[in-house]
Chains A and B, each alone.
Chain A
Amino acid sequence: MNTILDILSFLFNSIVFPGLLFVSVVGMLYVGIDRKVTGHLQHRIGPPIWQEFLDFGKLMTKEDITPSAAIGPVFTAAPLFALGSLAAVMLLLPVASAQPALRLTADLIVIIYLLNIPAICMILGGYSSGSSFAIAGAGRYIVQLLGYEFVFILSIAAIAVKVGTLNLTDIVSYQAKNGWLLLDWKLLPAIVATLIAAQGKLLRTPFDIPEAETEIVAGPLTEYSGPKLAIWRISYNAETIAVAALLVSLFLGGPTAYTIGNVRIPAVVDFLIKTFLIVMLTTVVRNIVARVRIDQALKFYWTFGILLAAISLILVMVVPQW
C-alpha cells in the first residue's frame, strides 16, 4: 500500500508539481512577463504575457524537420534530455515548503550537475545539427560554460562553507534560523558572482554570446524548428525557473509560509514572488547592456567573477563567526 502511494506521489511530483507541468507553466508565464517588461523598458507595448503559450502552441503544430546533415537521434534527444533534467532538478529544490520533493544527502552537487545538462544538451544538439552556425554557437557555448560554471560553483562553495553543509534543505533551515544569507556581508560578493553566473547560464545579454543573432543566427538552435524547438523553448523557460529557484533557496531564505492577519499565505506564493524578483533582476540587467565578445566574457568571468567568489570564500573561512 505504502509503496504504491510512494510511487504515485513520485509520479505526481515529477509530472505535475513541482515537476514538468508546474515548471513549464510557471516558466512560460515568467518568460512571457519578462518579454512584456522588456517591451515596456524599451518604451513599447510588447507581447501579451501569455505569448510564450501561443508560441508553444504554434510551434507544436508545425512540421517536424530534421536536417539531412544532422545526426538524427542526438538531434532529437537533446531537447528531451534537457527538459527531463530540469523536471528532475525541480524535485530537489524546495518549492512548496522548505522540504524538497526528494531528499538526498548532498543534493547541492546533484543540482549543479543537473543544471548543466541543458547546456550540454544544447551543445550536443548544435554539434549534431550539421549547420556551421550551430557548430560555431556550440563552440562558443562550451567556452562560456567554462567561464560561468566555475564562478557558479565557487560562489556556491562559499555559501556551503558558511553554512557547513552540502544539503540544500539544511541551507534553507539555517536561513530560517539565522536570517537570509543575502544579508551576510561576507557572502555578498559571492552572491553578486552567482547572479552574474546565472546571467550567463540563462544566456541573457551581455552573455547571450552563443546565440548572438547578428553573428551566428540562433547559435545551436539554428536548425531546430517545430515541436523540437517548442521543447527547447519550454526547457529554456524551465531553466529560468530552476536557476531562480536555486538562487532563492541559496540566499533568499527559500520558500517560507507567512501569516498576515488571519490569512495564511502558503510557501509556494513566497517561492513565486522570490523567483519572480530574480527573473526581473536578470530582465533589467539584460536590457541595459550590450553583448560582449566571447573572449571578453571569459576574461570577465575568470578575473572579476572568480575574484568576487574567492573573496567570499576566503572571508567565510578566515573571519570568525559572530
Chain B
Amino acid sequence: MVKILPKVLANLLRKPFTVKYPYEKVEPADGYRGKPSITKEKCIRCWQCIRACPDRAISVDKETKTPVIWLGRCTFCGECAEACPTKAIVMTKNFEFLDQYEK
C-alpha cells in the first residue's frame, strides 16, 4: 500500500511507457520475422520453400510460375527463407499488413 506509493507518484512525472502506436511507430529488433517477401527474379523454381513450409502457405502462381505466400496461413516461422537456395525469400521487418488482403 504505502510501498508502491512513491513509485506510482513518480510515474506521474515520467514520460508514459506506452506509445500512441499507430501515430508513433515502434521499430522491431533486427532479425525480426515479419512478412516474408519474394523477389521473383531471383527465384530458380526449385520449390524448396514449398517443401519447407509447415503450414502449406506457399503455392505456385499459375501465371508467373513463381511461389506466392498466402499470408492468412503463414505463421512467420522463416523456414522458407532458410530453405531458399538463392535467398529469393527474405523475412522483412514489416508487421503492419493485417488489414491488407494479398493472395
Q: List chain A positions with a Cβ less than 8 A from chain B.
A: 37, 39-46, 284, 287-289
Contacts and interface: CB of A to CB of B under 8 A. Distances in A.
Interface of B: 1-2, 4-5, 8-9, 11-12, 14, 16-20
List the 3 shortest-distance A-B pairs measured between CB atoms, nearest first: A43-B11, A44-B18, A45-B16
Contacts of B12: 37, 40-41
Contact of B16 (A39, A284, A289): A39
B12 to A, nearest CB: 5
B4 A43 contact: no
A44 B4 contact: no
B8 A44 contact: no
A40 to B, nearest CB: 5
Contact of A41 (B11, B17, B18): B11
Nearest to B20: A45
A288 B16 contact: no
11 contacts: A40-B12, A42-B11, A43-B11, A43-B16, A43-B17, A44-B16, A44-B17, A45-B18, A46-B16, A284-B5, A284-B9
Contacts of B8: 41-42, 284, 287-288
A41 B9 CA distance: 6
A287 B8 CA distance: 8
Contacts of B4: 288
B18 A289 contact: no
B5 A288 contact: yes
B24 to A, nearest CB: 10
A205 to B, nearest CB: 11
Nearest to A290: B1
Nearest to B3: A288
A284 B6 CA distance: 11
A45 B11 CA distance: 11
Contacts of B1: 288-289
B20 A40 contact: no
Nearest to B17: A43
A289 B4 CA distance: 9
Contacts of B18: 43-45
A45 B16 CA distance: 6
Contact of A43 (B5, B14, B19, B20): B14
Interface centre among A46, A284, A288 (most CB of B within 10 A): A288
A46 B12 CA distance: 12
Contacts of B2: 288
Contacts of B19: 45
Contacts of A43: 11, 14, 16-18
A173 B18 CA distance: 48
Contacts of A288: 1-2, 4-5, 8
Nearest to A38: B8
B11 A40 contact: yes
Given A284-B5, A284-B9, 13 more contacts: A40-B16, A41-B8, A41-B11, A42-B11, A43-B16, A44-B16, A45-B19, A46-B16, A284-B8, A287-B8, A288-B1, A288-B2, A288-B8
Nearest to B2: A288
Contacts of A40: 11-12, 16
